[in-house]
Chains A and B, each alone.
Chain A
Amino acid sequence: MTATTDKELASVVIRFAGDSGDGMQLTGTQFTNATALHGNDLATFPDFPAEIRAPLGTLAGVSGFQIHFGSTKINTPGDQSDVLVAMNVAALKVNIKSLKKGGVIIANTDGFDAKNMRLANVPEDKNPLTDGSLSEYDLKTIDVTKITRAALADSGLTTKEIDRCKNMFVLGLVYWMYHRPMENTLNFIKSKFSKNEAVMNANLKVLNAGWNYGETTEMFANRYTVAAAKMEPGVYRGIMGNQAAAAFGGHLAITGSSGPGIALKGEAIGLATMLELPLVIVNVQRAGPSTGMPTKTEQADLMQAMFGRNGECPVVVLAAQSPSDCFTLAFEACKIALEHMIPVFFLSDGYIANGAEPWKFPNTASLPDIQVHFAAAREAGDEPFMPYLRDEKLSRPWAVPGTKGLEHRIGGLEKQNITGNISYDAANHELMTQIRQEKVDKVADFISDQTIDTGEESGDLLILGWGGTYGALKTATSILIEEGYKVSHAHVRYINPFPKNLGDLLKRFKKVVVPELNNGQLVKILRDKYFVDAIPYNKIQGQPFMSNEVVAKIKQILD
C-alpha cells in the first residue's frame, strides 16, 4: 500500500460528467447525500439534456452534476471545478472549460476510443489523453469499463448490465479521495435493488472496488479532508427546490407548470382573478420562448406572471431565492392566497428546482397560522347573501357550495361590486378594476420589509437580484466588499407588490444594477415604479451566473 498524504481543504468543487446513460445524476446525488451527512455545507447544479436517452456518446448527450461543498458557507455550486470526472471524450470536451487550471481530471479511457472520438467530433489524431493538450491539468486515466467488467466477470450479469455499474466505481473512488462515509450509498443500493440480488451485489462490489482502487494504486498521492461546516445547530435535511412545493369547493387549489403550461392556464388565471378565489400558481421557469430549452434555467417569465393575461389582471407574485426558500415562500404564497382570497404566482426556476442545499427545516408548530373563514349559513329571514361584499383586505367571503342560504353565481363576466351580479356599467367596471389592483397592493401591508442581504445600508452600488441568482450575487458581493468596493446586495422575494420600503432603499445607493437571466424584466418594473436609473445586467444562456463574471461586470461599472 502506498502512503497517501491527507490534505485539509476549505471547499471543493467536483463535476461528474458522462453520457446521459452513465448515471451521473445518480452519482452526484449520492455524493451529495454522503457529503450532507458528513456535515458540510453544499450547493449542487445538475446540468442535463432534455432527452431521456440522448444520442449516445455525443456532445448533446453529456449529462453533468456539479457539487460545491465545504467547511465554510457555500452559496453557489461553484464557478469552476477542482475535479472533473469524465466518463467519455464528449464529457471532457464539454466540461474542460469549467475546470480550474491544475485541476484533477479522472478520465475513463474506454470512453476515449475511436468510436467515442468520432461521436464527439474529435479528430482521430487529437486524443486529448495522449496529445499533450491536457498538460496544464493533473490527468488520471483509468479504464473504468475494463476494471468493472473484470470485477463482475463471474457475476452472471450481461455485459450491458455490468457496464451500467461503472458509475459506482467512480463514486467509490471519489468517496475514497474525499473521506466520505459510504454507508448511505450502501444502504441505498441495498434498498433500490432489493428485488434483484445479482444487480445489488454487483453495484456493491463495484462501489467497493472504486474505493479499493484509490487505496491500493499509487495513482493518488493525496487524499483530502473537508471539515464539517459551522452551521446553526439543529436538525437538517437536504432540499431541492422541486420537493418544496379546487378552490370553489373550499379547498386550496394549486397548479404547477413552466412557461408554456402557464400560457395554457392564462384564461383560468384570469377567471380566478375575476372570481377572487384563492389559487397558487407555481411556475418553475426554464429557457423559452415556446418549448425553448426544457432543462435549462432562465428568469424570463416574470413579465408573463405580472402581465401575461388579457385585461387588467393583477395577481400577487413571489419569487423564491434558493431551494430551502421554496418552502418558506410556498407557505407564504398559500397564506396570502387564502387570507386575501386572491391568485398568487410562485416563481421558481430550473436552477433552484434541481439544485440542492442543506435545510434546517421548521417544526410545523412554529409555522404561523393561516386564517381561513368560510361564510356562515343563512336562514330564510336573513339579509340576502352578498358574494362581493368586502372586508378590510378587500377580500370577498368564501362561500362554499353546500352551505345553506349562500346560493350564488360567479363567473368570468364583470361583477357588480357587493352583489356580484353581472354588470356592464361603465363606472362599476372601473371601480372593480381598481379594487382588484388595490387588493394586490394591500398585500404590502402584510409582508416584511426589504432588507440588505450583504453589505452596508447605503453605498456606491446596490446589486438587486431576484430568484435563483441569489447565491452567485451574494458571493460576488462578498468578494467585491473584501476588495474595498462599497457594494451591497439585496434580493427581492416579493415582486407584486414590492415591499413598501424598496423605493427608499434604492435611493440610498448611487447606482443600482439588476442582474437577471433574461433580457431585462425586473429592471423594467423597477424603472417604471420608482423612476430609478437601474442598470440591467443580463445573461441569456440557459446557465446561471458565475460569481466571477458578476464581480467583473460590477468592477467595469464602478471603475
Chain B
Amino acid sequence: MTATTEKLTAKDFASNQEVRWCPGCGDYSILKQVQTVLPDLGRPKEEFVFISGIGCSSRFPYYMETFGMHSIHGRATAIATGLKATRPELSVWIISGDGDSMSIGGNHFIHLLRRNPDVNLLVFNNQIYGLTKGQYSPTSEQGKITKSTPMGSVDHPFNPIALSLGADATFVARTMDRDPKHQQAMIRRAYDHKGTSLVEIYQNCNVFNDGAFEVFTEKSSKKEETLMMEHGKPLVFGENADKGIKLDGFKPVIVDLNDSAVSDLWVHDETDLVKATILSRFYDDPADENHFPRPFGVFYVNSKKATFDELFNAQIAYAKEKMGPGDLDKLIAGKETWLVN
C-alpha cells in the first residue's frame, strides 16, 4: 500500500466482462455492495483476489477488476488457504453458494473455518441449485418439490450458521441481498476481522426459487420476522418494536414489551459463543406457530484465535531462526555420507 494510491471508485472494480446472471438475480446486489465497499478499504486493486468454486455465485470473480480464479466444485476454500498461506499480504475473498460450500465443499468449508486463515468467505444462499436449473440443495427445506425431488425432498437441511459455529469459526454473520446498507456493513466487518469471516447472504433466485426469503425481506413482514442483532443492544423486533427476546436460563422466550421491560431483555454480545449458538438455532419455519424471528447481523466474533497464515509463516520463521536458513547442499547430502576414492 502506498500513500499516493488515488481514491478508487466502485467503477474501478467492475471488469469489462458482461454480467450474465439472470435479470433480477440477487447476485447483482451482492456484486454492487462488494464493489461499493472495496474502494473504502484504501488498498490498490492488485492486492485483492477473488476465488470461487462452481455455481451461479462462482461466476462472481469474472466481474471484478481484481485478480480472480473461478476454480472447482467446493474447493475454492482449499485454493484460497494455499494462496493466503504463501501470500499473506493479499486480501483474499472466497465466493461460494449453498450448493458449492454445503454440498461437495462441506468438508473443505469446515476445515477452512477451523484453520482460520485471514480470508473472507461470502456464501450466497438461495436454497436451490440455480446453475443446473433448479434441483434441491443442502439448504433447501424438507419437503421441497424441485425437478430432482418431484415428491418433495426428504433431506434435512443444513443450518450454515450453526455449522460454522460448530466448526469454531471466528466470525459468523448473516445478511440479505435486499438490504444493501446492512450487506455493506457486514462485508466491511468481514474485511476488518482478522481470521476467516463467514457471511451467509440470503440471496433470491428469482428463476428457480423465487421468494424463498420474501418473508424476511419484504417490507410488510420484515420487522415481524427478522431480528436485527446489534452488539450491546437488547434483542428487540416486531412491527412496532414491541417484542423482545429474553433468556430464561438457557431457554430463549419471546416477550411482549407491552407487558415486559426492555431492561429484562437479552442484550446481544457478539463475543459470547454460547449465546451465539442459541441464536444460530433461531431457524424455525416462519409458518410455525410461536416461531422465533430469523436473526441477521453478527452472531459471533472471536478476535483472539491466531490465523492459519500467521502460524504457518511464524513456524517457518521460527525454524529458520532455530536451524538457520535452509542449505540445499546440506539437505541433499543428508546425515551420513561416505567418500569413494
Interface locus among B62-70, B145-153, B180-188, B210-218? B62-70
Which A residues touch B67, using CB under 8 A?
401, 406-409
Which A residues touch B86, using CB under 8 A?
246, 249-251
**Residue A231 at the B interface, CB < 8 A?**
yes
Closest to A243 in B: B334
Interface locus among B40-48, B156-164, B252-260, B313-321? B40-48
Please tell me which one of the listed residues B15, B47, B82, B333 contacts residue A402 in the complex, with CB atoms under 8 A apart: B47
- Of the four ranges (under 10, 10 to 19, 20 to 34, 35 or more), the interface on chain A belongs to 35 or more
**Residue A508 at the B interface, CB < 8 A?**
no
Are A236 and B340 within 8 A (Cβ)?
Answer: yes
Closest to B61 in A: A409
Which A residues touch B34, using CB under 8 A?
none
- What does the 1/0 interface line of B70-100 toward A look like (CB < 8 Å)? 1111010001001101110110000000000
A250 to B46, CA, bound (A): 14
**Residue B337 at the A interface, CB < 8 A?**
yes
Are B337 and A401 within 8 A (Cβ)?
Answer: no
Count of residues in B whose CB is under 8 Å from the partner chain: 41
Residues of B at under 8 Å CB distance from A?
15, 17, 44-47, 49, 52, 54, 61-62, 64-73, 75, 79, 82-83, 85-87, 89-90, 328-329, 332-334, 336-341
A413 to B64, CA, bound (A): 16
Interface locus among A2-10, A31-39, A440-448, A538-546? A31-39
Which B residues touch A422, using CB under 8 A?
17, 62
Closest to A251 in B: B86
- What does the 1/0 interface line of A142-178 toward B look like (CB < 8 Å)? 0000000000000000000000000000000000000
Are A401 and B336 within 8 A (Cβ)?
Answer: no
Which B residues touch A427, using CB under 8 A?
none
Which B residues touch A275, using CB under 8 A?
69
Q: How far is the CB of A200 from chain B (nearest CB, A)?
A: 19
**Residue A55 at the B interface, CB < 8 A?**
no
Q: How far is the CB of B105 from chain A (nearest CB, A)?
A: 12
Which has the most chain B C-beta neighbours within 10 Å: A36, A248, A253, A271?
Answer: A248
Q: 4 tightest A-B contacts by CB?
A: A411-B70, A409-B68, A401-B67, A246-B86
Additional 5 contacts, C-beta under 8 A, given A237-B334, A409-B69: A36-B336, A236-B338, A364-B329, A402-B87, A409-B15
Given A268-B72, A268-B75, A402-B46: A36 and B89 within 8 A (CB)? no
Closest to B52 in A: A411
Are B70 and A413 within 8 A (Cβ)?
Answer: yes
A232 to B340, CA, bound (A): 7
Are A411 and B83 within 8 A (Cβ)?
Answer: no
Q: List 7 A-B contacts (CB under 8 A).
A: A249-B86, A249-B90, A327-B332, A401-B47, A401-B83, A404-B44, A404-B46
Which B residues touch A270, using CB under 8 A?
72
**Residue A362 at the B interface, CB < 8 A?**
yes
Which B residues touch A405, using CB under 8 A?
46
Closest to A363 in B: B329
Are A407 and B338 within 8 A (Cβ)?
Answer: no
Are B82 and A249 within 8 A (Cβ)?
Answer: yes
Please tell me which one of the listed residues A228, A250, A406 contacts residue B87 in the complex, with CB atoms under 8 A apart: A250
**Residue A484 at the B interface, CB < 8 A?**
no
Closest to B58 in A: A411
A407 to B16, CA, bound (A): 12
Q: How far is the CB of B67 from chain A (nearest CB, A)?
A: 4
Please tell me which one of the listed residues A37, A184, A361, A410 contacts residue B332 in the complex, with CB atoms under 8 A apart: A361
A270 to B45, CA, bound (A): 28
Are B85 and A237 within 8 A (Cβ)?
Answer: no
Given A364-B328, A401-B90, A409-B15: A249 and B337 within 8 A (CB)? no
A332 to B79, CA, bound (A): 25
Which B residues touch A363, using CB under 8 A?
329
Are A237 and B89 within 8 A (Cβ)?
Answer: no
